[in-house]
Amino acid sequence: MARHLITSAIPYINGIKHLGNLVGSQLPADLYARYLRARGHEVLFLCATDEHGTPAELAAAKAGKPVAEYCAEMHAVQAKITEGFGLSFDYFGRSSSPQNQKLTQHFAGVLADQGLIEEVTEQQVYSNADGRFLPDRYIEGTCPNCGFESARGDQCDNCTKQLDPVDLIDPRSTISGSTDLEMRETKHLFLRQSKMKDQLDAWINSKADWPVLTTSIAKKWLHDGDGLQDRGITRDLDWGVPVKHGEKDWPGMEGKVFYVWFDAPIEYIASAQEWVDAGQGTNWERWWRTDAGADDVRYTQFMGKDNVPFHTLSFPATIMGSGEPWKLVDYIKSFNYLTYDGGQFSTSRGRGVFMDQALEILPADYWRWWLLSHAPETSDAEFTWENFQSSVNKDLADVLGNFVSRITKFCRSKFGEAVPEAGTYGAAEEALIADITARVAKYQEHMDAIEVRKSAQELRAIWAAGNEYLQAEAPWTTFKTDADKAAAQVRLALNLIPLYATLSAPFIPTASQQMLKAMRLPDAIWPDDVPAALGLLSPGHAFDVPEVMFAKISDEDREAWSERFAGTRD
């Protein structure tokens, strides 16, 4: 048994996230966490809400609420939605927690002591129309590198190039749309990332097993143009972690807060402290401190590609630069984007399906299966209602659901609601057991390697093998001439159900529980020995015929949903 620390990208507090956000971090992280637990490993799976910065202030103002109250309410909303999707976090924290504030201030202090924090007087964009300094992300314009017209002042989401607001062509305030901007002098703290370039480069080069997407983005930031740049870690805002040097005041930094991208990743550590302080866990240090036992922990992060630069460079620079024995990430699983029906998801235009809306119209397992089986691992993926309908109807209803319904109903009609006792296995049964055994081994290889789509494909093939066996051997026909042989066929087919439930649990946990309940089994037991697992239900074991596991999506529903979530196009 190994110990695994898993974190997914921390969702921002201002509003409900869409399906692309879900599949880009939280959902595949949950898949991996569930799989590892099922294999007997010790897992700590952490996430939180990212609550600081201008977006939270603006969203709160729009809602007419104090920002702290707004964030508390939205944290509860997001936590409820994650539960609805079956995301099995051990703790879902908050970056506005006292633990994160103290830890962020601690890191700033030790980084300063290590000579990695510099005070810089700079010119910053001030919006006369808004009456405030504008954070980089609240300035938009045309990217000087690729020509993308909606590049932000800190980064172009199209080419991922790191930017400064002054680099933008035709900059404007995203708050008011005003172009009445001017440069004013202000003082900020900068993390001297450039001093750690060689150390970061060597560390990234040591990760030969990382996805190409992860390392290519990291190396682009390290080596393109002028290379890795120092990064501002403070802002002129009211809402956030107050700037301090550990527990001491920081002269000249009064009224400023730490930049959200400095304190948000630190929340990964703080959420473990929150987990302990909430009485839900013990000894957070053994997960995060190498001087307290974290050396034997494997730490895996999940995130969309836009978050990769901060998790391969800025956060590691914070951890390494502290000179303290903190646990560094071992593997970063990054994802491309999920697009929606030929375009982008858009909150403002009501375009695309958001997590709360998804749960309103269909159970979580429908979405989990489609998203994971179409995860944007090697390239962007596109959600279309036609593909979603086809995948749900064919994979879940016709293959898995049909198999369970077909064999349990047939057994009930001919042998009663218990596993038949007569009959011995023949060549067809032995061939099926051998095929399933080989496929389970492949499935485990893909899951161990966090190859999400390949895992889903192999799982579907395992489901399909049961259907193909029933179709070829036709126990309903065999029964007419050889009831004992039909009983053996039925017994093997029934034993596939708990195996399917166990293997499927990381993908579709609710359906998995439904299958186990129907087979009157309390828990899933991972099939380390597949032939033995296929004898789990002994003759005479009673079962129930389950309700329909997956209802098919009709053309009428598909068309209605397509229209409902189309939004307004540009």
Cβ atoms of residues 333 and 209 within 8 Å:
no
Can you tell me the distance from the alpha carbon of 17 to that of 48, in angstroms, rounded to the nearest whole number?
13
Instruction: Give the separation between CA 223 and CA 211, rounded to whole angstroms.
Output: 18
Helix (H), strand (E) counts: the chain: 22, 18
Q: Dihedral, CA atoms, 558, 559, 560, 561, nearest 10 degrees?
A: 50
The residue with tokens 């939180």 is 48
What does DSSP assign to residue 243? P
Residue 47 assigned ligand-binding role: no
Q: Are 7 and 297 in contact (CB under 8 A)?
A: no
CB 334 within 8 Å of CB 304? yes
Q: What is the 3-state secondary structure (H, E, C) of 457-509?
A: HHHHHHHHHHHHHHHHHCHHHHHHHCHHHHHHHHHHHHHHHHHHHHHHCCCCH
Cα–Cα–Cα angle for 532, 534, 540, rounded to 5 degrees: 105
> Cα–Cα distance between 317 and 309 in angstroms, integer?
11
What are 90's two structure tokens? Answer: 């051990």
Q: How far apart are CA 490 and CA 483, in angstroms?
A: 10
CA distances from 434 to 135, 288, 437, 487 (A): 60, 42, 5, 20
CB 221 within 8 A of CB 308: no
For residues 157 and 178, what is the distance between their CA atoms, to the nearest angstrom? 22
Helix axes 27-38, 452-473, angle to 10 degrees: 60
On whether 146 is known to bind a ligand per the annotation, the reply is: yes
347 is in an annotated binding site: yes
In 3D space, the residue among 301, 245, 422 whose CA is nearest the CA of residue 47 turns out to be 301
Helix, strand, coil percent values for the chain (each to nearest 5):
50, 15, 35
Output the DSSP codes for 11-52: PBSSS--BHHHIIIIIHHHHHHHHHHHHTT-EEEEEEEEB--
Query: CA 378, CA 454: separation in Å to the nearest integer?
Result: 12
Q: Which residues are annotated as a binding site?
A: 143, 146, 156, 159, 347
Q: Which residues are annotated as a binding site for ATP?
A: 347
Q: Which residues are annotated as a binding site for Zn(2+)?
A: 143, 146, 156, 159
